[in-house]
Structure formats: C-alpha cells, structure tokens
Amino acid sequence: MQLHLGTLYVVQLTTFTLLTLAVLLMGLRYPQEQALRHWGIGGILASVSMLLIALRPAIPLWLSVEVANIVLFAALSLTWSGALALEQRPVRWRLQFSLVFLASALLLAISNAPAYFEQRAALYSSCYMMFNLLTLRVFVSSPHRQRLGYRLITTLVLLLMLAQMGRITLAMHFSQGELAGSPFFAMANFVLILLEFAKILAFIFVCFEALEIRLYKLAMHDPLTGLYNRRAFHDQAALRLAVHAGQPVALLVLDLDFFKQVNDHHGHQAGDDVLVHLARLLHAQLAPFDALYGRSGGEEFVILLTGNAANLAPLIAENIRGALAADAIQTSDAQHIQQTTSIGLAGGIAGQHTLRQLIMEADMALYQAKQQGRDCVRGAMNTL
C-alpha cells in the first residue's frame, strides 16, 4: 500500500482539530467543566500550529517555524492547567506563562544554530516532557488516582513521554537537517500523534467519569448535612444486612424535639444550623463504630448499627442524646439554641428481620419516647 504523507498529515490534522473542537464545545456547554476548556483551547492551538507548519512553502518562514512553535508551547502548557482545573486546584498562570516564555526565548536564541531543526525538535520534546511531568504530578498525587480515567491518562502521558525521549535521542543523533528526512523521526511523530488522539479521548473520559461521580453523590446525599439521604440509606442498609446475615443488628430513629418551634422562634437558617450540628455530632459519636447513618427526612435521622456496635446500641443512643442535650448550639447568626432529641431503638437479627420491620419497630419506640416526655431513648435490643 502506498501512503502519501501529505494526505496522511491532512487527515490527521483534520481529525485532531475536529476532536479538540468537540472537547472545547463540551467545555463551553458545561461551564463547570473547566478542564475541558483548557484542553479544548490547547488542542485548537496545537491544530493552528500544525497548520502553520504544514503551510510552510506558502507563508513566511518565521510564521511557520517560530510562531508555530511558540503556539505549540502554549498549547502544551494548557495540558497542565487543564489537569489542575480538573482537580479544582488553582491554575498557576504566572509560572505557566514564564515557562512558555522561557521555551520561546530559547527557541529564538538557537534560531541561527547550524543544526536548528534538530535542536528545535529536542527543545520541543523537552518542553513537552516538562509540561507532561507537571501534568503527571497532578494526576498521581490526586486522591482520585485509582479511577480508571486517571490511570488511563497517567499511562498515556508516560507513553507519550517515552516517545518524546525517543525523539530527543534521535535529534541528538542526527545533525544539520538530517533528522527531517529520517524515517525513524517520521515514525516517532506518527506514534506521537496517535497517542495524542488517545490522550484527548482519555481527557473526555475523565471529565465524564468525574461528572458521573458528582451526579451519583448528589443523588445519594442530603445537600444540607451531606449525610446519606433516605434512598441511599435504604440501599446501603439492605447491603449491610445481607453482609451481616445471622448477626445481631440495631436500628435507631432520631427525631429532634419541638423542632418546629426552633424554626418559628429562631428562623429557618437557625433550624438548618441545628440539623448540620446534629450531623457533625453523629459523625463524632459514630466514628468508632460500624454504623451506617443518614437523614431520612425533615428532622429525622436513622442509624443502622452492625457488628459489635449492635450490642452497644442502647449506650450509643444514650450518648448521642446526652451529647446533644449537654451544650447549647451556636447558630451562624450567634443565637444559642438548646436542642434535644428523642430516640427509638429496635434490635433484631439480620436476615431474619427486614429493614422495614426494624424501622417500624424503632418508629413505635420513638413514638413512646415522644409520649413519655421527649429527650429520652425508648425501645430495646430484643423487641423483635
């Protein structure tokens, strides 16, 4: 098969430009996806640069060489800033501009060197390695580094850096324009472009992956307290009951006392502050235990205790009640609210008793707690 290099280049350039244009459009359509905008603009700049290089016979040399390369340096730097934006870390514009400026100054400084082509290729590859190393650092230090998209990008960036190292080695091997005609150099460039395609697809993948995880969190959590919402609690509780089949489990239902009065007397915001306070208190009190908890609605919270924690359920419930009643809650507008809670407790054996039965039993115990004066725990471990 005969390959016409010029045609291949046009095909590659067109596909690359369309792909990066798609990334940019997605970044503009979804303003919260800042990373896509960085990578999209970077891709467009790279396409412009490649076009200038391709137009070499028809345009002034300085435009198709120096300007094209400086644009390419800027494009490379956006890979790094895109990674920072993805991680919601501050973009370091000043450092980024300085590095691009330094690379451009070096390019202009070597423009009269006899082996300008080779030195330029080595400079570009070094600049590429520098920005990709910075990008790699962002990805490998991320708490999300185990995600598939992150691992994909890390692998591709490493492969790209290897290919660039090969390019630098070639540039050092040849002299005074011989590199341009080398089939190895053409091959290295071809591999690089293919990997670049894959990298752009991985960028899109990683953004969708992050979006999916964000949506999942939104669907599972109560936005005010950050606790699991009712549906998520039920889903997770069913899983836990299956895992602990045959073992004792306990369920607590907490309901704040006279909470309507808090809203009426102190305002809705103060009411929200009380709910957030209780969520924090639950985190603190339940941290040592095997506990699943969530906000099941309004001023009602639910806790499933498994393992050793199930046997300690009455004590844990009493501790939560006592901790809430002990101190007044300071609201964001500096009011002080004395809040108490009633707690219903039910115990059973996972597998023998369903979540529904446990909740019904705990609700009945909660009703008793409300009837018997509030600010107390009612129910027992062996009621079912």
Interface positions with ligand GTP (CB under 6 A): 224, 255-260, 263, 268, 271-272, 275, 298-299, 370, 374
Q: Considering beta carbons, is residue 33 or 255 the nearer one to ligand GTP?
A: 255
Q: Could you tell me if 301 and 254 are in contact, meaning their C-beta atoms sit under 8 angstroms apart?
A: yes
As measured in angstroms, the least distance from the Cβ of 257 to ligand GTP is: 4
Measured distance CA(221)–CA(112) in Å, rounded: 62
Helix H, strand E, coil C: the string for 208-225 is HHHHHHHHHHHHHECCCC
As measured in angstroms, the least distance from the Cβ of 359 to ligand GTP is: 17
Q: Could you tell me if 312 and 320 are in contact, meaning their C-beta atoms sit under 8 angstroms apart?
A: no
Strands 248-256 and 341-349: antiparallel
As measured in angstroms, the least distance from the Cβ of 270 to ligand GTP is: 7
As measured in angstroms, the least distance from the Cβ of 344 to ligand GTP is: 12
Q: Considering beta carbons, is residue 71 or 376 the nearer one to ligand GTP?
A: 376
Give me the helix-helix angle, 355-371 and 230-243, nearest 10°.
120
In this structure, what is the dihedral angle of CA atoms 15, 20, 24, 29, given to the nearest 10 degrees?
50
Structure tokens at 297: 């609605």
As measured in angstroms, the least distance from the Cβ of 357 to ligand GTP is: 23
H and E: helices and strands count for the chain:
15, 7
Q: Considering beta carbons, is residue 214 or 268 the nearer one to ligand GTP?
A: 268
Q: Please report, as a single letter, which amino acid is at residue 212.
A: E
As measured in angstroms, the least distance from the Cβ of 267 to ligand GTP is: 8
Q: Considering beta carbons, is residue 118 or 255 the nearer one to ligand GTP?
A: 255
As measured in angstroms, the least distance from the Cβ of 372 to ligand GTP is: 12
Q: Could you tell me if 367 and 344 are in contact, meaning their C-beta atoms sit under 8 angstroms apart?
A: yes
C-alpha separations of 175 from 61, 112, 170, 208, 304 in Å: 20, 14, 10, 45, 72
Q: Considering beta carbons, is residue 87 or 375 the nearer one to ligand GTP?
A: 375
As measured in angstroms, the least distance from the Cβ of 330 to ligand GTP is: 16
At 291, give phi and psi (nearest 5°): -130, 140
As measured in angstroms, the least distance from the Cβ of 252 to ligand GTP is: 16
Q: Considering beta carbons, is residue 97 or 258 the nearer one to ligand GTP?
A: 258
Measured distance CA(190)–CA(196) in Å, rounded: 10
Three-class SS state of 125: helix
Q: Could you tell me if 329 and 274 are in contact, meaning their C-beta atoms sit under 8 angstroms apart?
A: yes
DSSP H or E run through 346: strand 341-349
In this structure, what is the dihedral angle of CA atoms 202, 207, 208, 210, given to the nearest 10 degrees?
120
Q: Considering beta carbons, is residue 290 or 375 the nearer one to ligand GTP?
A: 375
C-alpha separations of 104 from 49, 61, 97, 125, 226 in Å: 14, 16, 10, 13, 48
Number of residue whose CB is nearest ligand GTP: 271
As measured in angstroms, the least distance from the Cβ of 346 to ligand GTP is: 18
Owner of token pair 């609700």:
363
